[in-house]
Amino acid sequence: MHMLPRTLWHQLFVGPRGPKLGFTDVSRSQFRVWPTDLDILRHMNNGKYLSLMDVGRYDLMQRNGVLDMFKAEGWYPVVVNQTISYRKSLNPWMKFTMESRILGIDDQAVYMEQRFVRPAPASSGIAGEPEIYARAVVRARILRRSGGVVKMDEIIEKSGVDPATLHVPEAYLEWGATTKLPSTRADTPSVWE
């Protein structure tokens, strides 16, 4: 299934019918690996994971009320960093769940974790517990449609979230600091060392 129909399906039918969530609750979106998700090795293409993560983040924002707040304020999120680790392949026709959660913030961005999970096989001894197939960390900035960046303090104020509930692991904060690119106002030539 191509991304546009899948995205619209989740935005128009799945998300609005899902349970409402708190700001830091975990959203769970159900998917299946379609033939259009496959690469030449006949498992889900690594780039497809990133595309599906967009759908999962939208579902999270729709169900925790952040999307309504963004629309009212004229804000929108953009991904500025993301990293993903793959553990097991998602193969044709497999059903899987994407778990998405807001972890917290640094001085400039919001951090989220997203997981691709399936029920653990009965042979693992923990049948029924979800098993992680891939995990991603995403860092997103919030921009104003009128121009400029939304400050994190303003997001906390407008959302009413308790900052004490926002915890970003130190390793993720370090990753965010070491992988970000210079400001769009800075010269950033492509010079290989």
Q: Indicate whether 185 belongs to any domain.
A: no
For the chain, which ranges sit under pLDDT 50?
none
Write the pLDDT tens digit of every residue in 147-176. Answer: 999 999 999 999 999 988 888 999 999 999
**What integer pLDDT is reported at residue 124 of this predicted model?**
59
Nearest to 98 by CA among 2, 6, 23: 6
Q: Indicate whether 187 belongs to any domain.
A: no
Q: Indicate whether 53 belongs to any domain.
A: yes
**What integer pLDDT is reported at residue 10 of this predicted model?**
77
Domain count, the chain: 1
**What integer pLDDT is reported at residue 118 of this predicted model?**
95
**What integer pLDDT is reported at residue 138 of this predicted model?**
98
- The CB density around residue 192, as the number of other CB atoms within 10 Å, is 3
Q: Indicate whether 26 belongs to any domain.
A: yes
> Facing residues of 76 across strands?
143
**What's the rounded Cα separation, in Å, for the pair 125 and 140?**
37
**What integer pLDDT is reported at residue 8 of this predicted model?**
77
**What integer pLDDT is reported at residue 129 of this predicted model?**
81
- C-alpha distances (whole Å) from 80 to each of 47, 72, 139, 186 are 16, 23, 6, 16
> Facing residues of 141 across strands?
78
The backbone torsions φ and ψ at residue 183, rounded to the nearest 5 degrees and listed phi first, read: -55, 155
Q: Indicate whether 118 belongs to any domain.
A: yes
Q: Could you tell me the CATH number of the domain that includes residue 125?
A: 3.10.129.10
Q: Indicate whether 149 belongs to any domain.
A: yes
Q: For residue 135, give its domain range.
A: 3-179
**What integer pLDDT is reported at residue 144 of this predicted model?**
97
- Collapsing DSSP states into helix, strand and coil, what is residue 85? strand
**What integer pLDDT is reported at residue 121 of this predicted model?**
74
Q: Indicate whether 191 belongs to any domain.
A: no
**What's the rounded Cα separation, in Å, for the pair 107 and 188?**
22
> Rounded to an integer, what is the distance from CA 74 to the centroid of its chain?
20
Q: Indicate whether 137 belongs to any domain.
A: yes
Q: Are strands 75-86 and 110-119 parallel, antiparallel or unpaired?
A: unpaired
